[in-house]
């Protein structure tokens, strides 16, 4: 028996990086997973590496009310219910100080990273409650507990979902639903390649060194390491954990 045997999960941002690693780990532990991401072609490519009997896909914009309702309904229709939500979809915006940052960038980052999570919870919680309990895991970041220059929209969004998580965790205790957040430091994903270039456009390797300078273990995490913590929080092993901030950060939050 796997640690998620018989469970149904939704994972947003599932087409790459942490989301895909979590999809593979959840399926390996017995879950059936609806993979959600913005582009159908990315989802199909990602899903090709996972047991087809255990996954479904749904292209959706998580910041859209209609799309959020639709992907929740798709999971219930395909797999018969919902036990776990991993609200993982997120974007980094651009590296710029607040004076130079376009207002449109702030609005887009907040729409995906905050509104997208809020809508997933709004429409997902009633379905999880029908199963008399479950788990919600929200992907934040060490950016959700620390500051950093030139990334104010992203930092703001990742702090915001911590407050959301704590509030909703208290709302959901009587429903038997646990709500927690996971806070990775720099991880080997597409997002970090983008940020490295933003930190140092002429020399992305220097941007990487800047990111590594704040991590005591002097390396990036892997998507699989983050997925391992997500699996723990999604499983019944974390039955007494709710409202918590969980880091997987190589010591970043200790500095």
pLDDT tens per residue, range 93-122: 999 999 999 999 999 999 999 999 999 999
Count CB-CB contacts under 10 A for residue 19.
27
pLDDT for 8? 98
Angstrom distance (rounded) from CA 103 to CA 185: 26
Angle, CA of 122, 231 and 52, to the nearest 5°: 85
The residue to which tokens 């992305």 are assigned: 204
More confident residue, 232 or 208: 232
Count CB-CB contacts under 10 A for residue 200.
16
- pLDDT over threshold 80, residue 174: yes
What are the helix (H) ranges across 84-135? Answer: 103-110, 116-130
**CATH architecture entry for 8-185+223-249:** 3-Layer(aba) Sandwich (3.40)
Which residues have a catalytic role annotated? 154
pLDDT for 148? 87
What is the separation of C-alpha 120 from the centre of its chain, rounded to a whole number of angstroms? 11
Angstrom distance (rounded) from CA 143 to CA 98: 16
Angle, CA of 49, 51 and 57, to the nearest 5°: 80
Q: What percent of the chain has pLDDT over 90?
A: 85
The Cβ-side half-sphere exposure at 76, using a 13 Å CA radius, reads: 15
> Where are the domains positioned within the chain?
8-185+223-249, 188-220
Mean pLDDT of the chain: 95
What are the helix (H) ranges across 173-243? Answer: 190-199, 204-213, 223-234
What secondary structure letter does DSSP report for 91? Answer: -
Angstrom distance (rounded) from CA 143 to CA 118: 19
- Pair 56, 76: CB distance under 8 Å: no
pLDDT for 210? 86
pLDDT for 200? 86
CA separation (Å) from 150 to 91, 93, 100? 15, 10, 9
- pLDDT over threshold 80, residue 21: yes
* 3-state helix, strand and coil shares in percent for the chain, rounded to the nearest 5: 50, 15, 30
- Which pLDDT band, with edges at 50, 70 and 90, does 47 fall under? very high
Return all residues near 32 (Cβ < 8 A) that are at least 6 apart: 7, 8, 9, 54, 55, 56, 78, 79
């Amino acid at each position: 028996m796997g640690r998620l045997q018989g469970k149904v999960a939704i994972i947003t941002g599932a087409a790459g990086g942490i989301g895909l690693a979590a999809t593979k780990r959840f399926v390996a532990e017995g879950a059936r997973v609806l993979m959600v991401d913005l582009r159908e072609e990315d989802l199909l490519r990602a899903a090709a590496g996972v047991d087809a009997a255990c996954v479904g896909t749904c292209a959706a914009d998580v910041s859209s009310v209609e799309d959020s309702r639709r992907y929740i309904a798709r999971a219930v229709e395909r797999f018969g219910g919902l036990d776990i939500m991993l609200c993982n979809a997120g974007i980094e915006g651009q590296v710029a100080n607040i004076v130079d940052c376009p207002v449109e960038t702030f609005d887009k980052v907040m729409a995906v990273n905050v509104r997208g999570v809020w809508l997933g919870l709004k429409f997902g919680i009633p379905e999880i409650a029908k199963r008399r309990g479950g788990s919600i895991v929200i992907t934040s970041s060490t950016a959700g507990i620390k500051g950093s220059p030139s990334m104010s929209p992203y930092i703001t969004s990742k702090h915001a979902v911590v407050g959301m998580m704590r509030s909703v965790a208290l709302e959901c205790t009587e429903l038997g639903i646990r709500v927690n957040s996971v806070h990775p430091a720099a991880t080997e994903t597409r997002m970090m390649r983008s940020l490295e270039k933003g930190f140092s456009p002429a020399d992305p390797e220097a941007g990487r060194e800047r990111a590594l300078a704040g991590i005591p273990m002097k390396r990036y995490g892997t998507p699989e390491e983050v997925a391992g913590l997500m699996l723990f929080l999604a499983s019944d092993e974390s039955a007494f954990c709710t409202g918590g901030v969980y880091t997987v950060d190589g010591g970043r939050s200790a500095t």
